[in-house]
Amino acid sequence: MRFFRRDPKSGGREAIASFWAWWDEARHRVAASIAAGQAGSLVGELSGHVDAIDRRLAWELSAGRSSQHALIVTPEGDPAVRALALEWRAAAPEPDGTWEYHASRQAGPLGHLAMDGVEIDLSAYRAISSWDENRQRVDVRLWHPTMSSAPAAASIRAAYLFLDNLLGEDGVERWVGTIDLLEAETVGRSPDELRAEVERRSAEASGESWVLAEGDGGLYLVNLAVKPIDHPWKHWHVVVTVDRGLEELSHSTELPELDAAEDRLVEAMTSAESIHLGHVTDRKRRRIHFMCADGDRGRAVGQAWADQERHFGPRVDVEDDPSWSVRSELGL
């Protein structure tokens, strides 16, 4: 049973505490309603308490892995509310024989899925996969005998549900890149083989893949393997701008000095629990990007570096960027 919410309205930690106070009484009623086949009667009540935390969160009831039932509250891939989902889970009671709790959909058995009156055997999917070395993700092309002639929207929705069941929601978010649908039958990987391939590739991944590329915005040096899911509390974007661009650097001997200074900045910011995303050097300037958990600390560390490197004309800017919109600027 799955419900989606998109209107951003956050009640935060107080709403999380209220949720679990309500759940202490309601969990018995919810379990009884499931047993009686009347879970729909509590949709409005449960939705209201999840909405109070943040309307971008979705919730789901499913069979548990160790318990009879599972309650899932998920950000559905939205980095802006992933930390809230994790805080919700951290405040949950200990699992028992009836209930367990998760902040994302879990991998499960590949049974049958009913969608728009069509019965889909999830084990019948076949996949062609390839490894994107730069982004450290597996690109997947899927074929299913039932869905090959289905409307595109239904086919892609079924594909995502298949991958969620196969790898778990976090596994898809972290390790799956592009998802395409094949119209022609393929004798590609079975679900078990695809899962094994993703597990093999994920074990090899380093989390770093620095790529130097030229684009419309200038010259990019970016770590394409950075994944927001691995840094749920780093939502402050710190950008340090220096007044040195391609025009000036191409006719001076300052480039090694600037690169060495940037290395010192990266070391200082990393010690302040920030992650270095990369930099973009355009005609007039270089912009060095970080995401950090504490915007004030990030600003202080960046400014301390700027005070030591005044000859580069540095400027430090900080903004709250929970959706990691900086990725569009860097091509992540």
Task: Give percent of the chain above pLDDT 90.
Answer: 83
Q: Per residue in 2-43, pLDDT tens?
A: 333 334 456 788 999 999 999 999 999 999 999 999 888 889
1 falls in which pLDDT band (50, 70, 90)? Answer: very low
Q: What is the mean pLDDT of residues 60-72?
A: 95
Q: For the stretch 146-171, what's the b/e string if a residue is b when 16 or more beta carbons lie within 10 angstroms of its beta carbon? A: bbeebeeeebbbbbbbbbbbbbbbbb
Residue 5 has what pLDDT?
39
pTM of this structure: 0.88
Higher pLDDT, 191 or 151: 191
Q: Per residue in 263-283, pLDDT tens?
A: 999 999 999 999 999 999 999
Architecture per CATH, 210-330: 2-Layer Sandwich (3.30)
User: What are the sequence ranges of the domains in the chain?
Assistant: 2-102, 112-204, 210-330
Q: What is the mean pLDDT of residues 52-65?
A: 95
Residue 9 has what pLDDT?
53
Q: What is the mean pLDDT of residues 281-296?
A: 97
- Those residues whose C-beta lies under 8 Å from the C-beta of residue 234, and which sit 6 or more positions away, are 273, 274, 275, 291, 292, 293
202 falls in which pLDDT band (50, 70, 90)? Answer: very high
3-state SS of the chain is CEECCCCCCECHHHHHHHHHHHHHHHHHHHHHHHHCCCHHHHHHHHHHHHHHHECCCEEEEEECCCCCEEEEEECCCCHHHHHHHHHHHHCCCCCCCCEEEECCCCCCCCCEEEECCEEEEHHHCEEEEEEECCCCEEEEEEECCCCCCCCHHHHHHHHHHHHHHHHCHHHHHHHEEEEEECCCCCCCECHHHHHHHHHHHHHHCCCCCEEEEEECCEEEEEECCCCHHHCCCCCEEEEEEECCCHHHHCCCCCHHHHHHHHHHHHHHHHHCCEEEEEEEECCCCEEEEEEECCHHHHHHHHHHHHHHCHHHCCEEEEEECCCCCHHHHHCC
Averaged confidence pLDDT in the chain: 93
Round to whole Å and give the CA distance between 324 and 77. Answer: 12
Task: Give percent of the chain above pLDDT 70.
Answer: 97
Q: Per residue in 111-134, pLDDT tens?
A: 998 887 788 999 999 999 999 999
